[in-house]
Amino acid sequence: MSLDDLKIFQRPVIEKPFSFCTSAEVAEKMSGYQKADREIFVLLFLNSKNFVTAIETHTVGNVDSAPVYVQQVLRSALLNNACSLICVHNHPSGDPDPSMSDREITKQIGLGAHVVGIRLLDHVILGDAGRYFSFADNGDIGDYEKELDQKVAAGKVEQNNSYYYAGDPYWLRARFSGSCSRCKKEIKKGDRVFYFPKTKDVFCDDDLCGAAESRSFEAAAQDEFYYNQ
């Protein structure tokens, strides 16, 4: 198999970046995918001026579905230095109305992109005869962003420098002065600490405190991973 056989996975080179002002323009520009006999999920990456600088065929599915991997979507957006993205996929049935899985994956991509500082501008589903559905026009994209903001405001999600921590412990920089939950050592603003969102415990980076908790958590997570295989 040569590289020519894998052209569908190559990123098209856009010599003259273009922009969109409406979902109708997105649907018109991508209308060629309406003719596909299977679902194709496409990613459009935009710069800070909302010009499309790269297009990627994410996956090709079957007549009624296409797998979408949120991690890979975000990875591609970051590798393309995208400030925002637009998702597009077709419905071979001709009906552009979103399914429950369409709504769920759009929400996951939107929330994930929001976490890493990239905006999901729209997800357009192409039907037949020029019909399409826009999640942005329907108000869903804004609702997903508001949902995450409300969780942050309610304290259900901890926010730190555009990263969100919910559940698992993480290394981060202290935003306030305080003391280590174990050795009671003074922690100053900006110090590296190991933080447990569930219990609100904060450990300094000493070998017997934060470093020890980190090793313990990683070992437990590894054991759980192998146990669940």
> Which CATH number is 100's domain given?
3.40.140.10
Highest-confidence segment of 66-70, 139-143, 208-212, 217-221: 66-70
What is the overall mean pLDDT for the chain? 78
What is the mean predicted confidence (pLDDT) over 58-78?
A: 92
Q: HEC string of the chain?
A: CCHHHHHHHCCCEEEEEEECCCHHHHHHHCHHHHHCCCCEEEEEEECCCCEEEEEEEEEECCCCCCCCCHHHHHHHHHHCCCCEEEEEEECCCCCCCCCHHHHHHHHHHHHHHHHCCCEEEEEEEECCCCCEEECCCCCHHHHHHHHHHHHHHCCCCEEECCEEECCCCEEEECCCCEECCCCCCEECCCCEEEEECCCCEEEECCCCCHHHHHHHHHHHHHHHHHHCC
pLDDT at 1 over 50: no
Residue 190 lies in a domain: yes
Clarify whether residues 119 and 182 are in a common domain.
Answer: no
Percent of the chain with pLDDT over 90: 38
pLDDT at 6 over 80: no
Clarify whether residues 56 and 106 are in a common domain.
Answer: yes
pLDDT at 165 over 60: no
Residue 193 lies in a domain: yes
Clarify whether residues 65 and 27 are in a common domain.
Answer: yes
Clarify whether residues 146 and 183 are in a common domain.
Answer: no
What is the mean predicted confidence (pLDDT) over 116-141?
A: 92
Residue 158 lies in a domain: no
pLDDT at 121 over 80: yes
Clarify whether residues 15 and 67 are in a common domain.
Answer: yes
Clarify whether residues 39 and 120 are in a common domain.
Answer: yes
Clarify whether residues 22 and 73 are in a common domain.
Answer: yes
Residue 162 lies in a domain: no
Q: Model's pTM, two decimal places?
A: 0.62
pLDDT of amino acid 225: 32
Clarify whether residues 189 and 131 are in a common domain.
Answer: no
Clarify whether residues 70 and 114 are in a common domain.
Answer: yes
Residue 168's pLDDT band (boundaries 50, 70, 90)? very low
Clarify whether residues 23 and 105 are in a common domain.
Answer: yes
Clarify whether residues 112 and 63 are in a common domain.
Answer: yes
Residue 161 lies in a domain: no
Residue 178 lies in a domain: yes
Considering its fold, how many domains does the chain have in total? 2
Residue 22 lies in a domain: yes
What is the mean predicted confidence (pLDDT) over 50-70?
A: 92
State the residue range of the domain holding 107.
3-153
Clarify whether residues 179 and 102 are in a common domain.
Answer: no
Residue 222 lies in a domain: yes
